[in-house]
Amino acid sequence: MSDKEKIVEISMHCRGGQTCITASQLLAEMAFEEGFKDTIAIPIIGAERRGAPIQAFTKISKSKSIKTYDSVVNPDYIFMFDTSLLEIPKIKASIKEGVNLIINSPDPIDISNLPNNLRIFIVDATGICIKHSFMHASGPILNIPMLGAFGKITGYYNLETMEKVIKKEFGESRSEKNMSVAKDAYESVREM
């Protein structure tokens, strides 16, 4: 079944403060702006503290209405904002054959303990944030470079769509820095 005929499910893993909940919401908005029929962001918000593992989900569909609001258990795409999360058994177990894995890492990672038949993409989101001084009090703001990489990998949206949504959400004055980070990730993401 092609992506046009199905609900594409995305799971995001990060640590508190790494902005995957915002990434999930922005992804839904970008897909909708690009003409997807239905999109939904599903944050998991609880008593998490900064640095604790966090998960967020997004479902997008080009042709179907989304009628389920539950967590994603068989994602088509997984965003990994922090490679240390790959050491958590529950997170590692969620990576199944056939998934597309987008990892924030400057270098290829050891995939010997991961399932076969994965497509793995790496982008140095942290390095991009540091280079552009795209930070908040607790560290790099990783959502925009991760979303830039995802747009390039999938073709679901382009940089113009990202800019439109970013301007709407964060204002004109903050869009230039956001877009410099998005463009850097869009151009540098690579498949392992």
pLDDT in tens, 104-117: 999 998 888 888 89
Query: What is the arithmetic mean of pLDDT over 39-61?
Result: 83
Inter-residue contact 126 to 108 (CB < 8 Å): no
Residue type, 115: P
71: confidence class by pLDDT, cuts 50, 70, 90 = confident
Kind of pairing between the strands at 139-140 and 135-136: antiparallel
pTM strictly above 0.85: yes
Task: Please report, for the domain that includes residue 18, its CATH number.
Answer: 3.40.920.10
What is the distance, to the nearest Å, from the Cα of residue 35 to the centroid of all Cα atoms in its chain? Answer: 19
Domain span at residue 118 reads: 3-191
Number of domains in the chain: 1
Phi-psi category of residue 8: left, alpha or beta, with phi > 0 → left and psi -120 to 50 → alpha: beta
